[in-house]
Amino acid sequence: MSQMIASNSVCREERPLQTLRSTSDSNFVKKTYGGYFNVFVSTFGDVSEQWDLFRVIDGQFPEENDLDKYDGFVISGSPHDAFADADWIVKLCSVCHKLDQMKKKVLGICFGHQIITRVKGGKIGRARQGADMGLRNISIVKDNEKLAGYFGGEVPETLAIIKCHQDEVLELPKSATVLASSEVCEVEMFSIGDHFLCIQGHPEYNKEILFEIVDRVLNMKLMTQEFADKAKSTMEIAQPDRNLWQTLCKNFLKGRPEQV
């Protein structure tokens, strides 16, 4: 499933950053982190920054005239389908289209990755190989100057990331460039120009967040015990490359590849 939070975060060092959230916090995340908002800020933000939060699932959106106050946005995961036509999803697509016209930095994660695909004319739908949950290694496209800039030099051949989704990109927008793929998902990461970076996995997640999601979904009887056990087993001896993902995402949002 697409993740437990869909947020649109605007990131800037000298001006406020903005987060549009499209789902509610779980009790665990509230108790442990004070909400997903804090998970995002701690992963993608710096101490000197202010981030603004908008709960888009409840119809809370920034005014169009205020979009130019921000330099970068993060659209994160959601349990909802990015191809659905709920009012708030349609409005989020409209906001994303406006950000595209303004050439604002937008980091799309899971649901956000799929929303940007939709906005730019690609196709999304149910994952060809079924729902995916757990730690996965994805292969990074070689010789990409853009990624080299954000990583500060050598680009890793593979990166471990936590996955949690039942939908995927089926057809890329014509303007998109694939940056990573895996055995179970052809489009793990892509970019459009210098202002859109989209990731199917969750660079902000850690082991305890994944396990809590697995347990919660299992209790809702939306997955089998076998599927849950398999998802948890992927992290028995491995961890996501969160530091590398953080470097990539933060430097993309801030538009400062030379400062990695």
Give the DSSP H/E element, type plus range, for residue 74. strand 72-75
**Catalytic position from the list 96, 110, 164, 249:** 110
**Cα distances (Å, whole numbers) of residue 126 to 166, 180, 210, 231:** 6, 19, 21, 19
Active site residue 198: no
Report the C-alpha gap between 109 and 222 in whole angstroms. Answer: 22
Q: Is 226 exposed, middle or buried (0-12, 13-18, 19+ CB in 10 A)?
A: exposed
Q: Residue 23's closest CA among 67, 79, 62?
A: 79
Report the C-alpha gap between 11 and 19 in whole angstroms. Answer: 9
Tokens 């056990």 sit on residue: 229
**Catalytic position from the list 165, 188, 202, 249:** 202
Mark out the alpha helices in 77-157 (DSSP H runs).
87-102, 111-119, 145-151
Active site residue 93: no
**Catalytic position from the list 11, 80, 204, 249:** 204
Active site residue 154: no
Residues recognised as catalytic: 110, 202, 204
